[in-house]
């Protein structure tokens, strides 16, 4: 028997944990030059996409707090700095959702904005890894050990990859 989320906030928190798990898998064990890989002349690099992920999570938190503001990250950060920023922004967002503080918008709006966009960008990074010759293994995510509140870089090992 599983424990189902009891509120929309619980489901949003589980979505952030899923984003951390899938994002973590995509961000780990990349080649040194992956951050600057460019699939085409008009595409963003993985580093630019990763920075955007941090921007999205910070933006979503500001919306949840009722004080929406968009702030683009400094372009001079390294891959490791942006990975740390991504997980720190997930943690801050999750902490807010776990609190009893009021929401500045509906949970549906939060999901359809920054969270859904972030899931899309994690998929882009996974595809870019394959194009760069460092693919990640497929996985049965239904069996993944994704835990609400576990939004850091230290994620469980995959249960079933193929």
Per-residue pLDDT of the chain (162 residues; tens, 9 = 90+): 566 668 999 999 999 999 999 999 999 999 999 999 999 999 999 999 999 999 999 999 999 999 999 988 788 899 999 999 999 999 999 999 999 999 999 999 999 999 999 999 999 999 999 999 999 999 999 999 999 999 999 999 998 999
Q: What predicted TM-score, i.e. pTM, was given to this entire model?
A: 0.94
β-partners of residue 161 are 139
Helix (H, G, I), strand (E, B) or coil at 10: helix
Q: State both tokens at 102.
A: 């009021």
Domain ranges of the chain: 8-143
Fold of the 8-143 domain: 1.20.120
Q: Are 36 and 77 in contact (CB under 8 A)?
A: no
Q: State both tokens at 142.
A: 């239904």
């Amino acid at each position: 028997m599983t424990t189902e989320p009891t509120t929309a906030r619980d489901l949003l928190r589980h979505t952030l944990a899923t984003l951390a798990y899938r994002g973590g898998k995509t961000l780990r064990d990349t080649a040194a030059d992956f951050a600057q890989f460019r699939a085409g002349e008009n595409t963003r690099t993985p580093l630019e996409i990763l920075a955007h992920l941090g921007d999205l999570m910070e933006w979503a938190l500001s919306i949840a707090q009722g004080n929406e503001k968009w702030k683009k990250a400094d372009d001079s950060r390294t891959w490791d700095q942006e990975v740390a920023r991504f997980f720190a922004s997930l943690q801050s967002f999750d902490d807010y959702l776990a609190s009893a503080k009021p929401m500045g918008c509906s949970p549906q709006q939060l999901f359809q904005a920054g969270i859904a966009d972030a899931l899309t960008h994690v998929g882009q990074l996974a595809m870019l890894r394959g194009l760069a010759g460092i693919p990640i293994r497929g996985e049965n995510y239904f069996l993944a050990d994704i835990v609400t509140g576990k939004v850091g870089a230290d994620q469980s090992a995959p249960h079933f990859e193929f």
